[in-house]
Structure 1
Amino acid sequence: MKIKKNISRQPRKKRKELFNAPLHAKAKLVRAHLSKELREKLKRRSERLKKGDKVKIIRGRFKGRSGKVVKVSLSRGKIFVEGIVQKKQSGKEESHPINASNVVILEMEKREARKAEEKK
């Protein structure tokens, strides 16, 4: 049962809303699960991906490989991992974009908020 009259549930409109969302809203979507050790330490299940985090790819063509996050593209909702490249037709190698949901965070780069929590 629909309660609010001016909010749509149509998938096409939800996709469009997501596609046209501002970057600060898209940033919330670039999250990944934490490894078991980090999950126990931080008492949370997932965290936003940032440059410098060490991740392991758990799904897709590059499954099982790990490396550091080189770049986070908020507009595309993708990350680029060190050493994950694909060859182009011309022979040039280019970084391959990976969906944030397809990785697990193994180690996190130091963050200001984390530093404050660790002091407590």
Structure 2
Amino acid sequence: MVSAQPRKQRMRLYHAPLHARGKFLHAPLSRELRAKIGKRALRVRKGDRVRVVKGDFKGLEGEVLSVDTKRGRVTVQGASVRKADGTEVPLSIHTSNLLILRLAEDKRRTRKSGK
């Protein structure tokens, strides 16, 4: 049985091995992709085109530049802030705040689920 206590849920999240953390990197698919693939959400990968649906960058569409499995966050093209010295710093966005619009080309990912 899995505990319902929030502290134990957080502990499981923080101490999860990297291969299990991949499950936390899922983002919902757009309606078109959902109909095409037959799944509601997939793991975000580098090269996917996403839209930010919540937060400061809401409405921004861009390509995924990097995925941080350790922190469960994604860097999206165009989501950056300017530092005081003028340099641009990319901000990472949590995958729950994203919507996948287009998948990076991969035959296994775009194949309709046989379940």
Asked whether the two chains share a fold, i.e. TM above 0.5, the reply is yes
Which residue of the partner structure matches residue 17 of structure 2?
Answer: 22
Give the corresponding residue for 1:53.
Answer: 48
Q: CA deviation at 1:112?
A: 4.2
Residue number in structure 2 paired with 1:68: 63
How far apart are the structure 2 equivalents of 1:112 and 1:76? 28
CA RMSD of aligned residues (A): 1.8
Name the stretch that deviates more: 8-17 or 35-44. Answer: 8-17
Unaligned runs of 5+ in 2: none
- After superposing on structure 2, the runs of 4+ consecutive aligned residues of structure 1 that deviate more than 6 Å are none
TM-score (norm 1): 0.86
Pairing of 1:1-120 with structure 2 (within 5 A): 4=1, 7-114=2-109, 117=111
Residue type of the partner of 2:87?
Answer: K
- CA distance in 2: counterparts of 1:21 and 1:39, whole angstroms: 28
* Distance across 2 between alignment mates of 1:63 and 1:8: 34
Query: Greater Rg, structure 1 or structure 2?
Result: 1
- Normalised to the residue count of structure 2, the TM-score between the two structures is 0.90
CA–CA separation in structure 2 for the residues paired with 1:94 and 1:72: 16
- Counterpart of 1:95, as a letter, is P
Give distance in 2, aligned partners of 1:90 and 1:105. 33
Identity score, percent: 41
Mapped partners of 1:97, 1:27: distance in 2: 16
Report the number of matched residues.
113
